[in-house]
Amino acid sequence: MDNDYDDGRLNFYYSREERLKKASQAVRDINDRKVPHKKGLFRTLTATKPLTFLFLSIITICAAMIILSLFMNSEGVRELGNNSVSVSAIGYGENSYITVKKAVKPSGGRRSGHGVAYAGPVDIAVSIPGEGNPIHVERLYFGMENEELFRFIAPFRGKKLVVLMDALSEQVHLTVTCE
């Protein structure tokens, strides 16, 4: 049988390499064996250009939300006895005028088991950060209203004020910029 193929009439054989030599470069690139990459979450999320753009968009939005939450969370806002308490200060002359705004948290706050907001005396101590600075103490009375506004004067002025609020067994410490 081998003699039938040697006489030159017909020569049937298949050589992949010979056929690929005649093919275009794109076909040769498809045929080249590549080392398979390990699958992973990052490769899956950035496999194509649209997925990469979506992934970067999500990362950018998350970063923006974190940055905004750091700046939007006012430095003088805390939770005290299921109340949201915000403190602001304005310096004028040698005095600091301090405003405390109390608002009842609608969902009951951190202690959702205790749905009732705290009403009663709140001791507030105000000082300038550092050793040996004067301390001013005030006592406010939170009522049952949803929103209340309290104002008092501290007989000193600083760029930043440290405020300590004490209601029953709960204490809140915060720093407020005096404008």
The residue extents of the domains of the chain are: 2-71, 77-177
**Main-chain dihedrals φ then ψ at residue 67, nearest 5 degrees:** -65, -45
Question: Phi-psi bin for 93: left (phi > 0), alpha (psi -120 to 50), beta?
Answer: left
Per-residue pLDDT of the chain (179 residues; tens, 9 = 90+): 455 545 566 656 677 777 788 888 888 877 777 656 677 888 888 888 999 999 999 999 999 998 887 776 555 678 888 888 888 899 888 888 999 999 888 764 454 445 688 888 999 999 988 877 888 899 999 988 889 999 999 988 888 888 889 988 888 888 888 77
Q: What share of the chain is helix, strand, coil (3-state, %, to 5)?
A: 25, 35, 35
d(CA 142, CA 128): 25
Residue 9, pLDDT score: 60
CATH class of the domain comprising 77-177? mainly beta
Spatial CA neighbour of 144 closest among 170, 172, 120: 120
Short-list 85, 170, 166, CA closest to 121: 166
Q: What is the DSSP string of 61-86?
A: HHHHHHHHHHHHS-TTEEEETTEEEE
Rg, C-alpha atoms of the chain: 36
Q: What is the pLDDT of residue 79?
A: 84
Dihedrals phi, psi of 6, to nearest 5 degrees: -85, -10
